[in-house]
């Protein structure tokens, strides 16, 4: 059973505004780290708030572990909220000690005595702040504040942890530390962590499932080959111009600003062979990376393109860094947004 299943979801912040989110279908499975990526304003926080049950959809359905949260009885939503640990983008700490901040949710739920102390300590241990219990809230760095907020959510023993850009305002060392903490939580507690980040490398490093949002839509292809530019008309068809390169596109959506090319649709060739592909771009290999089950080849042809090929193709082509080759891309493979 899926953790979340979204059907025909829209969310609008006002009656006459365009939807901040419009997701026809999305499934999130249980376990591991799920990364939500996308530029500012793409809808990451809105989606997290909907998943946390803090916002109600304007239309459509969200199923949590098979139960329809949107059409179901209210107590279902309340029960679901008990499973969620939520850390919003700028965590707010109460003007008291770290310990009391972490115990806050437990106190609110009537957990008292030894049980409260034990769960508070265990949460502080999980985030590496076991000796910080008595510190006042104002004697903490930005990264420590994030970790206290994380401990506060963990103390409630959530099944799902929703984190909104927890790494946005911390230094590189803290970011690595937080990443390690999250990975350990996955191993030791077996929970699902859904985290938003605009750091693409981080998403690739952490995420079992990467969901990319663009202007409220889920982009299908993942993170590779997302280009910004505009659609233009030439005598022989419509093309997309990024400023650094151009390629033919299907002719709908003249006002598109983003073009996405799924990496498995980009073919590599050593000669500019006769092909039905409309786009034949000459480029240079800039990266070869083994992935599970496939090889990712980066090619600079004005922009950097990423192609996914098999190991057999890698050998057959004899690819090396710095080698010149051709990218073959069908116009129909380009998705416009």
Report the DSSP beta bridge partners of residue 59.
Answer: 10
Partner that binds at residue 38, options ligand ADP, Mg ion, none, CB closer than 5 to 8 Å by kind:
ligand ADP
Q: Does 46 bind ligand ADP (CB under 6 A)?
A: yes
Stretch binding Mg ion (CB under 5 A), from 37-45, 106-114, 186-194, 243-251: 37-45
Q: Does 212 bind ligand ADP (CB under 6 A)?
A: no
Q: Does 258 bind ligand ADP (CB under 6 A)?
A: no
Q: Does 20 bind ligand ADP (CB under 6 A)?
A: yes
Give 20 or 103: the residue with its C-beta nearer to ligand ADP: 20
Sign of the alpha-carbon torsion through 124, 126, 131, 137: negative
Q: How far is CA 198 from CA 19, 44, 193, 211, 324, in A?
A: 21, 9, 16, 11, 32
Stretch binding ligand ADP (CB under 6 A), from 42-50, 181-189, 238-246, 294-302: 42-50
Stretch binding ligand ADP (CB under 6 A), from 37-45, 78-86, 230-238, 252-260: 37-45
Give 55 or 317: the residue with its C-beta nearer to ligand ADP: 55
When binding is defined by CB under 6 A, the residue of 1, 8, 13, 56 that contacts ligand ADP is 13
Sign of the alpha-carbon torsion through 311, 305, 164, 121: positive
What's the closest the beta carbon of residue 248 comes to Mg ion, in angstroms?
35
Q: Does 40 bind ligand ADP (CB under 6 A)?
A: yes
What's the closest the beta carbon of residue 4 comes to ligand ADP, in angstroms?
17
Shortest CA distance to 263 belongs to which of 216, 316, 210, 217? 210
Q: Does 42 bind ligand ADP (CB under 6 A)?
A: yes
Q: Does 70 bind Mg ion (CB under 5 A)?
A: no
The size of the chain, in residues, is 337
Shortest CA distance to 25 belongs to which of 69, 53, 56, 63? 63
Residue 16 structure tokens: 């006459």
Q: Does 45 bind Mg ion (CB under 5 A)?
A: yes
Q: Does 38 bind ligand ADP (CB under 6 A)?
A: yes
In 50-174 the beta strands, taken as DSSP E runs, fall at: 59-64, 67-68, 84-87, 160-164
Radius of gyration of the chain (CA): 23
Q: Does 337 bind ligand ADP (CB under 6 A)?
A: no
Q: What per-residue string of b and e applies to 24-47 under the rule 16 or more CB within 10 Å gives b? A: eeeebeeebbbbbbbeeebbbbbb
Partner that binds at residue 337, options ligand ADP, Mg ion, none, CB closer than 5 to 8 Å by kind:
none
Q: What are phi and psi of 278, to 5 degrees?
A: -75, -25
Helix (H) or strand (E) holding 9: strand 4-11
Give 45 or 120: the residue with its C-beta nearer to ligand ADP: 45
What's the closest the beta carbon of residue 164 comes to Mg ion, in angstroms?
6
Q: Does 43 bind ligand ADP (CB under 6 A)?
A: yes
Residues forming the site for ligand ADP (CB under 6 A):
13, 20, 38, 40-46
């Amino acid at each position: 059973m899926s953790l979340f299943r979204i059907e025909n979801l829209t969310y609008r912040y006002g009656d006459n505004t365009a939807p901040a989110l419009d997701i026809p279908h999305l499934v999130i499975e249980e376990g591991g780290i799920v990364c939500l990526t996308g530029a500012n304003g793409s809808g990451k926080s809105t989606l997290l708030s909907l998943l946390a049950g803090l916002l109600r959809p304007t239309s459509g359905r969200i199923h949590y572990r098979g139960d329809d949260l949107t059409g179901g009885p209210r107590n279902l939503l309340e029960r679901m909220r008990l499973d969620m640990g939520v850390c919003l983008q700028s965590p707010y700490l109460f003007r008291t000690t770290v310990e009391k901040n972490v115990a806050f949710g437990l106190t609110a739920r009537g957990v008292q005595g030894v049980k409260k102390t034990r769960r508070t300590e265990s949460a502080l241990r999980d985030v590496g702040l076991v000796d910080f219990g008595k510190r006042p809230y104002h004697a903490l760095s930005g990264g420590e504040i994030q970790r206290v907020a994380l401990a506060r959510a963990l103390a409630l023993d959530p099944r799902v942890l929703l984190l909104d850009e927890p790494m946005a305002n911390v230094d590189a060392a803290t970011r690595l530390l937080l990443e390690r903490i999250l990975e350990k939580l996955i191993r030791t507690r077996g929970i699902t962590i859904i985290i938003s980040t605009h750091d693409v490398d981080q998403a690739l490093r952490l995420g079992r499932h990467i969901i990319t949002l663009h202007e409220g839509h889920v982009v299908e292809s993942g993170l590779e080959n997302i280009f910004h530019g505009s659609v233009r008309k030439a005598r022989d068809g419509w093309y997309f111009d990024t400023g650094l390169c151009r390629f033919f596109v299907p002719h709908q959506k003249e006002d598109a600003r983003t073009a996405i090319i799924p990496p498995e649709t980009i073919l590599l060739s050593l000669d500019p062979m006769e092909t039905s592909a409309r786009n034949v771009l000459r480029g240079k290999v800039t990266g070869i990376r083994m992935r599970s089950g496939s090889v990712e080849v980066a090619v600079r042809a004005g922009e950097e393109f990423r192609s996914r090929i098999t190991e057999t193709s890698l050998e057959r082509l004899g690819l090396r860094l710095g080698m010149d080759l051709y990218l073959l891309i069908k116009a129909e493979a380009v998705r416009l947004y």
